[in-house]
Amino acid sequence: MANNIMIQHLFKLNSLYRAPDGRVFKIVVSEVYNLRCFEVINGNLAGGMIKIHPTSDLAKSLVAVD
């Protein structure tokens, strides 16, 4: 049990997060196995839903956008 993480506390729903490559994602669902998000381009959601594993290097590199 000590290895379980509370994903809901790591990412705020409906918040924006910037990836190292400059892309911005809006987190719409935060689950144990997936962060479901959309890329935000010019203030609009773009493309289909993207799933990111919450313990992946990409997820760990996301930085909240104020």
Any idea which residue has 């290097």 for tokens?
A: 57
pLDDT digits (tens, 9 = 90+) for 18-43: 999 999 999 998 877 888 999 999 99
pTM of the model: 0.81
Percent of the chain with pLDDT over 70: 86
Any idea which residue has 């203030």 for tokens?
A: 43
Sequence spans of domains, the chain = 7-64
- Under a CB-based contact definition with an 8 Å cutoff, are residues 60 and 52 in contact? no
Q: What is the pLDDT of residue 2?
A: 46
Written as one string, the DSSP assignment of 5-43 is --HHHHS-TT-EEE-TTS-EEEEEEE-SS-EEEEEEETT
Pick the CATH number of 7-64 from 2.30.30, 1.10.287, 2.40.30, 2.170.130: 2.30.30
- Specify the DSSP element, H or E, that contains 61: helix 57-61
Distance of CA 13 to the CA centre of its chain: 9
